[in-house]
Amino acid sequence: MTEQELALLRKSIERARQARAHGNHPFGALLADPQGHVILEAENTVVTGRDCTGHAETNLMREASRLFPRELLETCTLYASTEPCPMCAGAIFWGGVRRVVFALSEASLYAVAGNGPENLPLGCAALLAHGGHPTEVIGPLIEAEARTVHDGFWTAAS
């Protein structure tokens, strides 16, 4: 990981902080072009949007596929504060993004948040490995930093 890539990952964590401040679950994501320029950002909107599909990565991919041609998306990297869930991994795959970098692993998230009956524990790398085109998945990285945005959230939310 370059310093620029770590900075982008930290920016996704900052988006997760914003989601939490807005009353949502603490997850954030961004999309960067091959030069590392952020072209789109998104945060979780499950609570305020009253939409169970309002995960940061799905929100990002919904907007990205509307705004940008697939040829561009295939060259971009999605940076996520937490490992994308199976729904989000599907959106990433079908949107054509070929590289994902995440901070906090799914296993570490469940260690903090609890592994309740609504969780679907399947890492994005395992899911994306079954796709018809390759998708590079890098993570977990800087987990201690990424975990801080979850401090106290899941105990307060339950």
Q: Which helix (DSSP H) or strand (DSSP E) does residue 87 occupy? A: helix 86-95
Burial group, residue 134, by CB count within 10 angstroms (0-12, 13-18, 19+): exposed
- Give catalytic residue positions: 57
3-state secondary structure of 77: strand
Helix axes 86-95, 56-67, angle to 10 degrees: 10
3-state secondary structure of 32: strand
